[in-house]
Structure 1
Amino acid sequence: MKVASPRQRLLRNTWFYVAAFLTTAFVATPILFALFGGFKDNQQLRDNALGLPNPWNTENYTDVLAASTFWRQLANSVGIALATTFIVVMAAAMVAFVFARYAFRGREVLFMLFATGMMFPFAVAVLPLFVILRTMGMLNSPLGVILPQAAFGLPLTIIILRSFFRAIPAEVEEAAVIDGAGPWRFFTTIMLPMARPALATVSVLALVNSWNSFLLPLVVLQESQWWTLPIGATRFSGQFSTDTAKVLAFVMLAMLPALIFYAFAERHLISGLTAGSTKG
């Protein structure tokens, strides 16, 4: 095997850092534009859209934070996201455990049935889902958002957790059985603690997907008291369409909780996605 020369390694690393820098700039530019734009007034945005605010204007952010509607929408988003994540992770963990550790007739067919859910576009299901929720009296209710979001989040979560559960050696289960542990005890006291990296990964994915969900809450939550932040941002931008700086401030504040959460959870997300491939 030919060993790369120092010059080749330097060139390869240089291109790697250039690509990383360009990708970071591509992602960070709109975020920084919204952040600094919220500290400007509309005249500054017209005259110097890409520059720093001069002077810095905090009124846009304070106006948004002083509005009770923003905090209500934030609470709605947090509640729906947490409930969705809990249901998705708990239900998927139990299903994935059965698919991973038990052999039964039709197992692979059932697993493929769950997997095909990833190929089913959500937009196609909006109309029948709306009819079902209206029939069940779940419109204008957080449950009308939580339960469908959880259902659509199950396929990917089950696939990730099943891969992790299958990677755990059979000797661990045999030792638990010898110690008198039944299936439920083995699942709750051994499998779930060992699966923390994978559970953290699917929790992050479910939480972020729920937080960013727009179409389903828009269809289901017609009363303003139940609006989430994505809907609130759309309504706010329509209400203050001529005040671009204030709209940018609202959008930035709506993004901030998800950005902070993802910054802290990124390590768990990466480790969980790679854990299943490194065990065995």
Structure 2
Amino acid sequence: MSDALAPRRPLDLVPLYKAVFLGLVALLVIVPLLATVLGGFKSLGELRTNPFGLPETWEWENYTGILLSQRYWQLLWNSLVIAALTVVLTLIVASMAAFVFAHIHFFGSSMLLSYLTMGLLFPAATAILPLFIKVRDLGLLDSYLGVALPQVAFSLAMSILLLRRFFRDLPHELLEAALVDGCSYIDFFRHVTLPLSRPILATVGTITFVHSWNSYLLPLVMLNSDSMYPWPLGIMIYQGEFSSEWHLILAFITLTILPTFLLFILAQKHIVAGLTAGAVKG
């Protein structure tokens, strides 16, 4: 009897709202991806009449023609070299700078950090003319470094902020014990900080790789030779003066975003660990 008279607990709708919201976000992400993949299996005429449905006739030659072409693999190689250079240089410079800002206090450090973080306010497009002039003066036009170095410069601000926060969350007692034992800052950075920072290094490396892999404006300005083009510029081969072969463009995009998709899948655990490190304390 007492159970029947007890007040009922109000129904908690928060999990339902979260599930609906996440479902909508998933649809916004999955539907364009599926439309891109399926569009690569259609003819140009069917793509115009049936852009989102399943293909009536699966045009496998759209994908096989791209995979068997030497140009596709050359574009992919160029993108891989530029992205790898960008990731390696960004991790080296940003990790050292973040370690200094996290553990070494010197006059003007906060002002210098604020100056570096101002780079988040300016996209590369705002400085494309000075960048072109500087790269030309250095003799790096139409080279991999001519594209990678500006990308490194614009990746440093966010990379330093992420790495600095992670380095500061590491136990400070480790640094004090290492200094007492005669370990230098450089040795502590190499042998203690970097091995413990694999999650955030994977996070920064993945974000930098994706930004470099999808970059269009900088390669367009810095590269002149068709043999040096990365994959975003390679799409132009399917775009004519009066029409575009959209079914081949979608197949090309599907094949070129596959490496970044696989990279996210492989590094997902480290990315989540790196971004959430230090979020909960106590």
TM tier, shorter chain?
A: over 0.9
The runs of 4+ residues in structure 1 deviating greater than 3 Å are 237-242
- 8 Å CA contact 1:168–1:279 kept in 2: the answer is no
Aligned match for 1:130, one of 129, 132, 155: 132
AA partner of residue 8 (structure 1): L
Q: Which residue of 1 aligns with 2:246?
A: 244
- 8 Å CA contact 1:92–1:158 kept in 2: the answer is yes
CA distance in 2, matches of 1:105, 1:146: 32
CA distance in 1, matches of 2:80, 2:160: 23
Q: Which residue of 1 aligns with 2:226?
A: 224
Q: Which residue of 2 aligns with 1:262?
A: 264
- 8 Å CA contact 1:233–1:254 kept in 2: the answer is no
1:110-136 CA distance string (max 9 Å, x none): 111111111122111001111111122
For the aligned residue pairs, the C-alpha RMSD in angstroms reads: 1.8
- 8 Å CA contact 2:238–2:244 kept in 1: the answer is no
CA distance in 2, matches of 1:152, 1:117: 7
- After TM superposition, the score normalised by the length of structure 2 is 0.92
Instruction: Tell me the SS of whatever aligns to 1:273.
Output: helix
- 8 Å CA contact 1:240–1:247 kept in 2: the answer is no
- 8 Å CA contact 1:38–1:61 kept in 2: the answer is yes
AA partner of residue 183 (structure 1): Y
Runs of 5+ unmatched residues, structure 2? 1-7
Distance 1:79-1:7 versus aligned 2 partners, 3 A rule:
farther
1:136-158 CA distance string (max 9 Å, x none): 21110111001111111111111
CA distance in 2, matches of 1:217, 1:159: 26
Instruction: Tell me the SS of whatever aligns to 1:185.
Output: helix
Distance 1:124-1:136 versus aligned 2 partners, 3 A rule:
same
Runs of 5+ unmatched residues, structure 1? none
Q: Which residue of 2 aligns with 1:172?
A: 174
Q: Quick one: percent identity of the two aligned structures?
A: 42
Distance 1:195-1:87 versus aligned 2 partners, 3 A rule:
same
Aligned match for 1:118, one of 110, 120, 127: 120
- 8 Å CA contact 1:73–1:232 kept in 2: the answer is yes
Q: Which residue of 1 aligns with 2:20?
A: 18
1:159-182 CA distance string (max 9 Å, x none): 111111111222101221233311
Cα offset, 1:7, TM superposition: 5.4
- 8 Å CA contact 1:84–1:149 kept in 2: the answer is yes
Aligned match for 2:186, one of 180, 184, 187: 184
